[in-house]
Structure 1
Amino acid sequence: MNQKTKDRLKSFLKIVAIPTVYALFLRFIFGAKDWEAVFSMMSVTFLFLLPSIVGALTVYFSDIKNVKKLAYRIIAPWIPIYAFFIITFLFAIEGWPCLVMILPIFMLSASLGGLLGGYFKLRKKDSKAYLSILLVLPLFASPIESYIGVQSKPYQAYTYIDIDAPAEKIWDNVTRVREIDEKQDKGWLTKLLNFPRPVKAELNYEGVGAYRQAIFTNGLVFHETVTDYEDNKKMSFSIRALPHEIPLTTMDEHLVVGGKYFDVLNGTYELEKLTDKTYRLHLYSNFKLTTSFNFYASWWAKNIMKDIQNNILQVEKYRSENE
């Protein structure tokens, strides 16, 4: 290996290794249980500021010829981000679902940080001082964010499907859902994120006060109490998931239903007559999020809930029309 190749390799390792180590260092601090009151991974500081600094470091340590290229300042910061993701996944520091959901944020923020790092690099004057301030900024920003606190905000996921079958037959498949074979599972997003899939739903009787149990794979159970009931027309129910019932291997700790950040509140089935032979089955669910970045988390939560609901609706449609 000649000296030129060695220098290139050394430079590459520098612009990748230093930002990656910095990201792992902050991950350790923000993931420590003893410090969670001050440093939280479920924060704007961790999800937006950390990758921005990683991007800034990557570009700042790069060769000036590369930094002058706009495309480099945007794309190069993704390399240490991918390295950080691979390390945390391989060593089981982070789960696959969390990594998938935060990847868009990290890539965008890293690119913005790369543009900032390029500005520092090209400006030269006082750049080291600004970069030093940037490095320690998360350690000051996170306590301030924790002090401000977060508020819970409600959201709704709405789905529907049209079914060509008698109302009585549809309703039988709504109130009680027989075991769903894995081959019938069409939930693409929940499969991608390795979320528990619906298995069956049991109801002890039809009417207000009835107990309904929605069972998912890997030990996830929704305990439902019917709050409003009209036979063949409407069924509303409160939903409660008990985190202590869910095995630790079922879901990432930041995504546990009924946990600190995400909870499902209630749901409603409504059957609307369209024609003499066709009905529209509506399914609503209400949930709440408690994060400082609900504007982003709500997009994922809504689409996950819709994916689950559409999956169940297509099973109920098939059974009503074909069985």
Structure 2
Amino acid sequence: MAGRAHGFILSEIVGGVSVIDEQKQDSALPTSTRLIRASAVFAMLLGLALAFVPWIIAASGEYNPMLVSLSLLLGLPFCIGAVGRLLFKIFGVTTGADFGWASLSVAMVVLFAGASILREAIICILMAAPFWAFGVWLGTYTMGVSLRRFPDRPRANGAVFLMLPYVMLGAELHLQPSAQTYVISRSVTVNASADAVRPLLSEMRNISVDEGRWNISQNLLGVPRPVSAVVIDQVRLARWQNDVSFEERIELNTGSEMRWRFAFPNDSVSRYTDRHISPDSEHLRVETGGYHLEPLTGNRVRLTLETTYTAKTPVNFYASLWGELILGDIQSNVLHIIKQRAEASR
């Protein structure tokens, strides 16, 4: 029904306007007229994007923000780029090579506006942006080729591209992405003895925002910083900023090595960072972690922090790049907190 509705709306728009050759577009339109027409195109494309959400609900039974779908990442922006290219031509807003930039600009605004309406976080937007940019460019280019080859068939051109995300979504329902396991590891050299470092692996209280180090994930993307870690009955209770909390259930502690399994008894991690980064979901599961202490000469130690997680998405490799950044930044920050405290206690 939604696909038919989109086709009907577009056909009505196109039906009342004849497609004009690009070289004959009115280049002398007043600025106010261009802005009004561009705003109309933006509103149509935003509506097109939001109208896709009910189909996701129908496909998954709910609006699942953890649903990583190629129809959302590529199919929808391809459709928006193509339809935007067609609408810009119809309304005479821009011409020639400007079509690509105009479609890309409007599509990025649609991405941010739609994400705002659906309460998506900045990390989600940044992760989707490269796919959207490529999808919009490809859709704009493909529609341009189609219009040059079939200039008298705007309805058919629009209808075909409108159906693409729905076709992709239907195909994805029958495909299961593979699961891949990744290990993120960071190390730091501490100018202190193992005896000074070892207690900090179990407990750290009253961590201030000034401790640790600057990093992209926590300083720019808004990932919370640690506040404290306290061990109770072989379970380390970790608290971060914004009331984020989780558990590290210790399975091994030899003095030089500590291993634990993560547990997330509440949704605070995803609620205060990004709903797409739920660490205990079908698509992402943060599983285990551990410290390793290696003695060095000169009364120093090398401390390594490791995290293992499993991703199950259509874009595992791309997602792993973000995992390397975000988890790596978190690890590096924790290690430098330990380093600073251990060296200060000498």
- Normalising by structure 1, report the TM-score: 0.85
Instruction: State the alpha-carbon separation in 1 of the partners of residues 269 and 199 from structure 2.
Output: 31
Alignment equivalent of 1:314, drawn from 321, 324, 336: 336
Q: Aligned-residue CA RMSD in angstroms?
A: 2.7
Deviations 1:13-60 (A, max 9, x none): 344333222112213433x3x542598652011111111111112222
What is the identity, as a one-letter code, of the residue corresponding to 1:62?
Answer: F
In 1, Cα distance between the equivalents of 2:210 and 2:164? 50
Match of 2:258 among 217, 235, 244: 235
> What are the within-5 Å matches in structure 2 for residues 160-171 of structure 1?
160-171=187-198
Match of 1:145 in 2: 172
- Structure 1 unaligned segments of length 5 or more: list them: none
Number of the residue aligned with 1:202? 230
Give the distance between the partners of 2:135 and 2:316, measured in 1 at CA: 17
Would you say the 8 A contact 1:262–1:288 is kept in 2? yes
Q: For residue 222 of structure 1, what is the aligned residue in structure 2?
A: 246
Whether the 8 Å contact between 2:184 and 2:308 is mirrored in structure 1 is yes
Deviation at 1:127, TM superposition (A): 5.7
Say which SS state the counterpart of residue 149 (structure 1) adopts: coil
Determine helix, strand or coil for the equivalent of 1:62: helix
Distance change >3 Å, CA 23–CA 245, structure 1 → 2 = closer
Q: Is the 8 A contact 1:55 1:77 kept in 2?
A: yes
- Residues 1:105 and 2:127 are matched in the alignment: no
Report SS of the residue matched to 1:259: coil
* Structure 2 contact 284–311 (Cα < 8 Å) conserved: yes
| Residues 175 and 202 in structure 1, CA contact (< 8 A), matched pair in contact too | yes
Give the counterpart letter for 1:179 in structure 2: N
CA distance in 2, matches of 1:23, 1:265: 35
User: Which runs of no fewer than 5 residues in structure 2 stay unpaired?
Assistant: 1-27
Q: Is the 8 A contact 2:143 2:157 kept in 1?
A: no
Matched residue type, 2:282: K
SS of equivalent to 1:276: coil
Residue 251 of structure 1: how far off its partner (Å): 3.8
Matched, 1:79 2:105: yes
Residue in 1 that maps onto 2:302 = 280
SS of equivalent to 1:280: strand
Contact 1:59 1:67 in 2 (8 A): no
Partner Cα distance (1:39, 1:171) in 2: 45
Partner of 2:277: 255
- Code of the residue aligned with 1:111 in structure 2: it is W
Q: Assess, with a 3 A threshold, how the Cα gap between structure 1 residues 293 and 117 changes in structure 2: closer, same or farther.
A: same
Residue number in structure 1 paired with 2:13: none
Query: What's the CA shift for 1:318?
Result: 0.7
> Matches of 1:201 and 1:130 in 2, distance apart?
59
Equivalent AA in structure 2 for residue 280 of structure 1: R
Query: Which residue does the alignment assign to 2:149?
Result: 123
Cross-structure match for 1:188: 216
In 1, are the aligned partners of 2:235 and 2:248 still within 8 Å (CA)?
Answer: yes
Please identify, of 259-268 and 93-102, the stretch whose mean Cα deviation from structure 2 is larger: 93-102
Of the three residues 199, 202, 212, the one matched with 1:175 is 202
Q: Report the CA distance between 1:292 and its aligned residue.
A: 1.9
**1:4 and 2:4 are equivalent in the alignment:** no
Alignment of 1:289-300 (within 5 A): 289-300=311-322
Between Structure 1 and Structure 2, how many residues are aligned?
311
8 Å CA contact 1:254, 1:261 repeated in 2: no
Distance in 2 of aligned mates of 1:135 and 1:18: 12
Moved more, 49-58 or 308-317: 49-58
Deviations 1:209-259 (A, max 9, x none): x3222222333333222223221x2111111112x3538742433222213
Matched, 1:96 2:119: no
When residues 315 and 176 of structure 1 are mapped into structure 2, their CA distance, relative to the original with a 3 A threshold, is same
Shift of 1:269: 0.8
The one-letter code matched in structure 2 to 1:140 is: V
> What is aligned with 1:212?
236
